[in-house]
Amino acid sequence: MPDDPLSRPLIEIARDLRERTVTARELVEAAITRHERFGERLHAYSFWAPEQARAVAEAADAAFAAGVSAGPLQGLPVSIKDLFAAAGYPCFAGSSRPLPAEPWERDGPLVATVRRQLGVITGKTHMVEFAFGGTGQNSHHGAPYNPWDAAAHRSVGGSSSGAGVSLLEGSALLAFGSDTAGSVRIPACMTGNAGLKVTIGRWSTEGVVPLSFTFDTPGLLARSVCDLAFGFAALDPARIDPFALIAQGTARDLGGVRIGIGDPFLWRDCDAGIAETVQEAVDVLLRADAIARDFTLPEAVAAHDVFLAGGLSAIELRSFLDRELPEWLDQLDPVIAPTVRNAENLSAREYLARVARLANLARAAAPRLDAVDVVASPTLCLTPPLMADVADADSHLRVNRRIVRNTAWVNYLGLCAITMPVGRDRAGMPVGLQLTAPAGAEEKLLTIALAAERALGTGTDRLGTPPMLAS
C-alpha cells in the first residue's frame, strides 16, 4: 500500500481498488486517520460516521474479492452536505436541531446512487443554515476553518462550507454540495478545490432540503478537475463511463477552443491579486492555442440586479418553512433570520415579475453564448473574509452580496459552470478560474476544463500545501 493511498488522482485509486493493490478498508482507515489528526481544528463535519464507513468499505472489498463491480464509486470515501437526506444519518440542514426523520433520513436519488455503487460515506458536512448564504457563517454550530490561513479564522465559503474542508483534510475524495447562487463554486474556490455546478434539472433535487425550488442544483467538489470529471460521470443519470470521459478530456487540446473574456462586470472590483492571477491563467490557455473572444453578457448584469432586489431564494425558503417546518422560524440563525422573515412582505405580483424577468434574460443570453465555448472569469472577486467580519446580519448581507457577484448569474441564467484553482491572491488565499458554458453542456465543459488543467497544473501544483496542514 502507498504511504498515503489517498494522495493519487481518483481515477488511479479506482483502478488500484479494482486491481486490488489497495483496499477500501485501507482507504477509509487513512481517511479516519486524517480526520483524527485535523478534524478538531478544521470542523468540517456535523456528523462523522467512521463505523458506518468501515462497514461499507468491508462490503466493497468483499464485492471486489468476488469479482463484482457495483460502480465507479465502489470503495471511495465521499462526504455529503448536511442537507442531503440519508438513511441512518441525522439531517440538520445547518439548523439547531435535526429535521424530522421522515422524509429527511431517507435516501434521495443521488445518495441512493452512492449506496448502490458501495461508495463509502464518511459523514455529513457543515453548512450555512438552510443553505442561505455564501459566507460559511453558522451561529448554531460554528464555521469550519480555512486551512490556507493558519493565523486567523477565515471563511471557507458557503453554503457547502464543510465540503471543501473535508477534501483538504483528506477524509473524503469527493464532496457533495448544492448550488443555488454559487454554494458549490464558492467553497471550492475559497478552499483551493474544483467545483461543478450542473444545469438545473440535470440531477434530481429529491431528498435535498430546498432553498429555492427554482434554482437549486446538487453539485460536486473535488481536489482536481480530473477527480471532478470522474465523480460527475459516476453520478450522472446518463451513466457516462468516467474512464472514457477522462480519456476524452486527456486526448483533446485547447486548440480552437473559444474563450470569452473581458466582460467588465465579471472582472471589476477584485481584491488584490485575484484578477491578475486569473488573467495569468487565461494567458497560459491562450498560449496553448485557445482563442480569445471579446465577450460581454449584459444579461449577467441584469440577472445580478434581480438578485440585489431580493431574488427568489428568500421567499421560496420562507414558503418551504411555512409549509413543512414552521417551528424552525423562531430559531433561525440570527445572520439569516431578518431576510427570511421579511420575505413575507414580497407581493405575489413582484415574485412573478422576477420569475418572468429571469426567464426572459435566460432566453436572451442563450444565443450570445453560441459565439464562445466557455466564458472565463474570476470565480470570486474577494479574498475569503475573516469570520469576525460576517458575524452579524448586516455584515453578512453586505459581504454575501460581494461573494455571489460572479456566481449567482450563472444560476439565474440556467447555465453550468466549473471553478478550478489557479493560484493565490496577495493575502495568500486560493484564487479560482470560473469557466461557464451553456445549459446541458457539462461534458464539453469538463473536457475543456481537463485540457485547461493539463496546461495549468492541478491546484496542488499551483497552490502548494495549506499552512494548517503542513505541520
Is 139 catalytic? The answer is no
Q: With CA atoms as reference, report the closest residue to 450 among 9, 89, 146.
A: 9
Rounding to the nearest 10 degrees, give the CA dihedral for residues 445, 183, 177, 271.
Answer: 70
Q: Catalytic pick from 46, 171, 183, 212?
A: 183
CA distance 59 to 32: 17
Torsion 95-96-98-99 (CA) sign: negative
CA 317 to each of CA 273, 320, 330, 344, 469: distance values in angstroms, whole numbers, following the listed order: 36, 5, 14, 11, 37
Q: Are the beta carbons of 433 and 378 closer than 8 angstroms?
A: yes
Q: Catalytic pick from 46, 79, 81, 212?
A: 81
Q: Residues for the chain: how many in total? A: 471
Return the CA Rg of the chain: 21
CA 103 to each of CA 119, 158, 160: distance values in angstroms, whole numbers, following the listed order: 22, 24, 21
CA distance 464 to 471: 13
Is 319 catalytic? The answer is no
Q: With CA atoms as reference, report the closest residue to 23 among 62, 50, 53.
A: 62
Is 204 catalytic? The answer is no
CA distance 377 to 157: 18
Q: Are the beta carbons of 427 and 420 closer than 8 angstroms?
A: no
Strands 174-179 and 194-197: unpaired
CA 188 to each of CA 69, 193, 326, 360, 362: distance values in angstroms, whole numbers, following the listed order: 30, 5, 32, 30, 25
Strands 291-294 and 258-261: parallel
Other beta carbons less than 10 A from residue 134's beta carbon: 32
Q: Catalytic pick from 159, 171, 178, 313?
A: 159
Strands 374-378 and 258-261: parallel
Catalytic residues: 81, 159, 183
